[in-house]
Structure 1
Amino acid sequence: MSRETTASLPTGFGRRDFLAAAGVALSGGLAGCSGVFAAEGKQVNVAGSSTVFPVTEAIASAFSEKNPTVNISLSKTGTGGGFGNFFCAGRTDINNASREIADAEIEQCGNNDVTPIEFQIATDALTVVVNPEADWVDCLTVEQLQEIWRTDGAQRWSDLNDEWPDEEIELYGAATTSGTFDYFNEAVLGEELNHRSDYYATERDRTIVQGVRGSETAMGYFGFSYYSENPDSIKAVSIDSGDGCVEPSIETAMSGKYTPLSRPLFIYVAKESLTKPAVRNFVRFYMEQAATDLVSDVGYVPITEDKRDENLEKLDAAVAEVTE
């Protein structure tokens, strides 16, 4: 399982400098945190999706500015890694997720007396990227994506188009523990095809940026936020799902035109953790901020005010049940 520390995180929007001052810990070793914060119930532990990470990070920094005595530990473990190794094991309060929780994960949570509560917090335009020098490709059909990413698929660009370079496609993508992997697999490959294994698989989206930036024949995919932080060093590919080429953006994700790679993003909160004031206050703040420009500044589509109100009602009901 891969983890990222502060030193290796992607940069953008000036968030990292603030985090250091605000007391938001960015570390892999968050589980079982001890010390004064944990002892006083002022520790909030979050793991999971690297795609959702920028949203949670930005909201955590804003929360920490107003609540400096609360320590929020954030870690990138992938959606599946977060559920399996931390959240459903009872070691974290919140799991960032770029897909819905699986039945097996719900069962694991239940076996450990963890009750997951789902909150949608944004919409993402999952983005396919290539090197800016790859001037032969600006748009790909879903069928071409399938041919590239399926088992025993295309090895060279010329396999897709005779006019494209006779060069090997260097592939970077999400690890199998990632919700991004699961979503891409379902949306692009479907039930009939399997995702190829001969690619550089990682939870570190910055590694994908570096790999694609460093090779003219490379391709990768990840959440739109990581593209929006690096628009000059990598190129986003438009996707044609049958109605023409559509560019990934906040606007096309919001309108529903960017298919099939627009997807909802979630956090899952352990109901039992809502007994802690720090956790329920952070989650309430999160729901309020998820409907603001803070989310679009990160590179995702905010939830609607109606969804925000629905989330807050769900949160209030859960808090009432555990604090009676």
Structure 2
Amino acid sequence: MSGSLEVIFRNKKAVVGLAIVLAYVAIAVAAPWITEHAPMQRVGRPHEPPSMDQLLGTTRMGRDVFTQLIWGTRTSLFVGFLAGLIVTVIGVTLGITAGYLGGWVDEVINFFTNIALVIPQLPLLLVIAAFVGQASPMVIALIIGLTSWAWGARVTRAQTMSLRRREFIEASELAGEPTWRMIAVELLPNLLSIIGFNFIGSVIYTIITEATLEFLGLGDPNAVSWGTMLYNAQTSSAIMIGAWWEVAAPASFIAVIGIGLSLINFAIDEISNPRLRTLGTVAKAAKAQRAIDRARVDATAPEA
């Protein structure tokens, strides 16, 4: 365990990404103590610019943008992590089941996975969200989670089929290990990098998709999230009247959490793929050698 943590903390992408994500989680948890206002409370005049009283200005309704941003962090992270968890659980369960059991079970699961993969994702979400009406954050999380599992299932199935033919799996089967133990003890630990990659990618996709649906007016206008903040800024023509802070605040938060999660994704890929780690080491060694060669050339060059 300590060795794994050491590998993680030696990866700069992992450290920076974890720092960003943990900072967002801390903001979400401490939202009631960070700001003294309620997110829907009117605290000033419409479209007040940032000041000492309102750090990020106010909206058209005179609501504090900073307060809405803090509470919106809690909502958007909740939707992202809930949908990511649903996507990961469904994808991993179906992928391992199809890849390990094979036969008609694999054919049935693969059939439904192919159907889910060929259906355009965003148009499907738009249709479902429009049919539901003003969907709450919980409903959006469920919609995304229940319709976005196919890619994770396909990748997990492929990796499981590769592991299925390994010698340690065949030896455990010959020893009479039950199926549940084969999956839980032998397969899952070797799929952790794929599972982590799937989860982080799903969280990024969910946060952006939720903001998109709410920006298009398909979310609950009474909920406070980054998407509804962008929707309210758009309906009040905030950019046209110069109230740039209403758009910049949620857009910046979405961009930064996307960067943090992407860095974690890249780090997982590097940690789980020895070739990428080797390439990084070779690049550093080559850079150091070039510096040494330049120093030698400078040292042997004749003085003017």
Q: TM-score, normalised by structure 1?
A: 0.26
- Determine which structure has more spread, i.e. the larger CA radius of gyration: 2
Q: TM-score, normalised by structure 2?
A: 0.27
Which one has the bigger helix percentage? 2
Which one has the bigger strand percentage? 1
